[in-house]
A and B are shown apart, each in its own frame.
Chain A
Amino acid sequence: MKAIVAILSACLFLPLAVAQEPLTPEVPLEHFESYFEERPERYLVDPQGLLGADDLAEREEFLSYHAGESRIDFHVLLFDLGQEIPNEIRIEELAERFFGEGKPSLLALYFLGEPERTLIQLSPQIRETVSAAELGRVRDEAVRAARQQAASAEQLEAFCKQMAIRIFWIEREADLGPEKPDAAPVSEPGERTLAEPKDEEPGFVAWLRRCWDEWGLPAAVILGGVLSAWLVRAAVRRRARYVFPEEAVPDRLGGGRGAATGEVIDFSSSTRSPSEQHEGPGDSLGGL
């Protein structure tokens, strides 16, 4: 009888017991210091040990590599599925406190297996350069990339890679520029939603630059030669003196200086062309 009662009570009360467990547990108190106390020393903060050792090492290595190549660090605080950040913790305050000084950074609060809950924030030095809407789009793109993966570790990997790409464009927006020209990650075509850098060269300028790179020196030499020749020619012509041979011409019609007159042009009408408004010479011989 006791067994039956035990089984019944188990059947009746077990769901209740499960339901009584918090579905969205808060971050354990013992990890508060690691998460929220000071500027993180590592790029991936996982005090709860949510990632396996290999995954953790790989993600940390990737973020370190990114930090070495970018002018903006990327820090990730990793939380578990369904975990809630304490109400008193705000990501804006964290970014301000952690990264108010030193190298600019982007902080992400990432929930393993729930990329759509991710929160991101820029450090104060560069916050003004990217609008909240753009930052939201950056986050959405990275979340979308993450959700294309099934496993939570792979989702985190995709998220980090996509964010690294977006951070490159944020660098351009903030006019920080890459430290090394070849350090810029290449984004996947058609995926960029962050505003393109405004100082990107238009096609014609890029073409000119390419031509200069390829043909600059010979073209400059040729152009210089042509210009020099033109200048010399202009100088010669400017200094040139034009003379007419003095020939013996008998006086005509009694004029001692000259007797030739030209066409008479009429400029009374603006609707008739000059050729219609000149008085050509007559010819009493009828053109013979």
Chain B
Amino acid sequence: MRRCPSCVQAIHRGAAECPHCGFGLEAADGLFGTEKPEIGLVDDGAGLMRNAERRRVEKLLAGFGARFPQLAVAVHSASRVEGDLRAYAFWLLNRAHFIDLSPERSQRGIILLVLDAARHRATLAWGYLLDEDFDEPDSFEILSRAHAYWVEERYGEGIERVIEQLALVLIRRSRKARRRARRKGGAA
């Protein structure tokens, strides 16, 4: 089930804007700005990670990228997100220019982890490549792995756990997706 990032109500998979609250990317631009932010795949704007932790995270992301050639994980921390965190993640996923994203990776294969340092919240947003195979319970399972670390402000370790758990979940989902594709191919 697809949901509106703003009001979290169920919406049609091709809805141009939310029928409940009217939310869409243009409305998000009104909330978070029209300039396209240029950020790296690891963008620790809130300064939550030490250099060593950041290097470990980057190493994990490289390993993740090797196993999932279509996907890319991006990590973004903000000192404070004004407004709804889901809506912000949706806006950033679609508006940001990820400067170190290699060209062979699909823009629709980005998985974005957003942390709000001031409000102690985090969420995930993901591209259309995973639209059929990744859902909200998966995101909760993944973020839960980091919860114990983040409450102790061990952000780097928590992010590492997120990436590890994300890989495990996506391995399962990838198998499921292949079976689904085979079934569709057989039916065709």
Contacts and interface: CB of A to CB of B under 8 A. Distances in A.
A253 B5 CA distance: 9
A263 interface: yes
Given A253-B15, A257-B93, A285 B128 contact: no
Contacts of B70: 243-244, 246
A52 interface: no
A258 B126 contact: yes
B62 interface: no
A189 interface: no
A266 B174 contact: no
Contacts of B178: 243, 245
B32 interface: no
B94 to A, nearest CB: 4
B128 A267 contact: no
B120 to A, nearest CB: 4
Given A263-B140, A284-B9, A253 B4 contact: yes
A262 B93 contact: no
A264 B25 contact: no
B156 interface: no
A264 B85 contact: yes
Contact of A263 (B10, B94, B132, B136): B136
B14 A265 contact: no
Interface string A244-255: 111101111111
A252 B14 contact: yes
B69 A243 contact: yes
A256 B108 CA distance: 8
A192 interface: no
Contacts of B86: 261, 264
Contacts of A268: 119-121, 151
A264 B144 contact: no
B139 interface: yes
User: Closest 8 CB pairs between A and B?
Assistant: A262-B139, A254-B25, A258-B127, A268-B120, A250-B14, A242-B174, A267-B150, A245-B181
12 contacts: A242-B68, A243-B70, A244-B70, A247-B132, A255-B93, A258-B93, A258-B127, A258-B129, A261-B125, A262-B135, A263-B139, A267-B120
Given A255-B90, A257-B128, 20 more contacts: A241-B68, A243-B69, A243-B174, A243-B178, A250-B13, A255-B93, A255-B94, A258-B125, A258-B129, A258-B130, A258-B131, A259-B5, A261-B123, A262-B123, A264-B86, A264-B123, A267-B122, A267-B151, A268-B151, A281-B3
